[in-house]
Chains A and B, each alone.
Chain A
Amino acid sequence: MIRTARQIGRAMAGLILLLLAGCATVQPWDRDILAEKKMSFNPSPMLQAIDDHIYFSKEASMGGIDAGGGGCGCN
């Protein structure tokens, strides 16, 4: 169990380094599309929060939610 966690931890560190290194660069004047509101990892936060709560109470998993957020007696 701990072995798997370490492997995943290492994989994640590797992924983060890959992101850090990266290849392409986007010039500041090409960031028009990225500035749109729908270009977000969480474009509908209210809906996402409701979903996270539903799945948290019907499944055993958690995470992906921001740190914190209400607890409930549902799991």
Chain B
Amino acid sequence: MNGVSSAPLLDRVEDYFVGTFRAMASPCSVLVDTDDPTEAEALLAVAEEEARRIEEKFSRYRRGNLVDQINHSNGRPIDVDEEAALLINYAVTCYAMSDGMFDITSGVLRQVWTFDGSSRVPSRDAVRNCLRHVGWWRVGWKQPTLTLPAGMEIDFGGIGKEYAVDRAAVLIGQRTRSSYVVNFGGDLYMSGPRRGSRTWGVGVDDPDRTGEVALYRLDVSRGGFATSGDASRFVRRRGKRLGHILNPKTGWPVDGAPRSITVFGRTCMEAGTLSTLAYLQGPRARQYLEKQDVQFWIV
């Protein structure tokens, strides 16, 4: 089953091809509506390469990569390349539009929070100490130079996967006229209808039974889907589930947010950003999304 190249295998489902690989700690699939296996294999390879490239560059778990260098810069200014600069600009836009709730410097709070389903919750002092290293307003950013004070960290986890989906989709779109879907761990983009004007089927999961039961089934053709929620990572406190998305101003998980918010947008990044921004609104998520005139599902 494995030769020199251990490329993901292609499967045929109905009249399209599916290829799956693992990246960014998630199952990643590419669906291509074609009868040509060579084309499907080539597009799958493009998507996998791009997913790994982005993970390699922007993951905070890789030694020596750009993010690692920034996080260990100890206050020294670091020059970043064009792609990283635009990603930072995007994050800054989200920070501004969310009144500071979407903040890529909040990753350092994971040092005090472990979301393993237990009831281990940090002390108020621990959180307060950690908060001294949170806040984009402390960061010096003048493209292309980023100056991150010592003790602070940036984390692209909140937008990295959606960015990878859209990038893979762009690269695939440049190489084919066939319709395709790029799905990285549930954040996905569909390029258009299948042959015969048929739609791709998408399911919105029941967060208590991820992968088993779909609460809604949608017939869609084009656009991006992303979900924010507490289904996979959480802690319990006084019987309440606290999701893993933290409020960067209090250092505590966002309170009162819905279990799961799925947004449908023009691209995966748009969908992902809106679902995250909505989640950060806590109990006001639904009103927030209604004001954006966007299709969404709240569980």
Contacts and interface: CB of A to CB of B under 8 A. Distances in A.
Q: Do any beta carbons of A and B sit within 8 angstroms of each other in the complex? A: yes
Interface of A: 28-33, 35-37, 40-42
Given A29-B27, A29-B183, A40-B6, A35 B1 contact: no
B29 interface: yes
Nearest to A29: B29
A37 B5 CA distance: 9
Please list the 3 inter-chain residue pairs (A to B) with the smallest Cβ-Cβ separation, ordered nearest first: A28-B11, A32-B27, A32-B22
B26 interface: yes
B20 interface: yes
A40 B28 contact: no
Interface string B11-26: 1010000111110001
B213 to A, nearest CB: 15
A28 B6 contact: no
A42 B6 CA distance: 12
A37 B2 contact: yes
B22 A28 contact: no
Contacts of B6: 35-37, 40
Contact of B28 (A28, A32, A36): A32
Contact of B20 (A29, A37, A41, A42): A29
Given A36-B22, A40-B6, A31 B11 contact: yes
Interface string B273-297: 0000000000000000000000000
Given A28-B18, A35-B8, A40 B29 contact: no
B1 A28 contact: no
A24 to B, nearest CB: 14
B237 to A, nearest CB: 32
B255 to A, nearest CB: 34
A35 B9 contact: yes
Given A28-B19, A37-B6, 20 more contacts: A28-B11, A28-B13, A28-B29, A29-B20, A29-B27, A30-B27, A31-B9, A31-B11, A31-B20, A32-B20, A32-B21, A32-B27, A32-B28, A35-B6, A35-B20, A36-B6, A37-B2, A40-B6, A41-B1, A42-B2
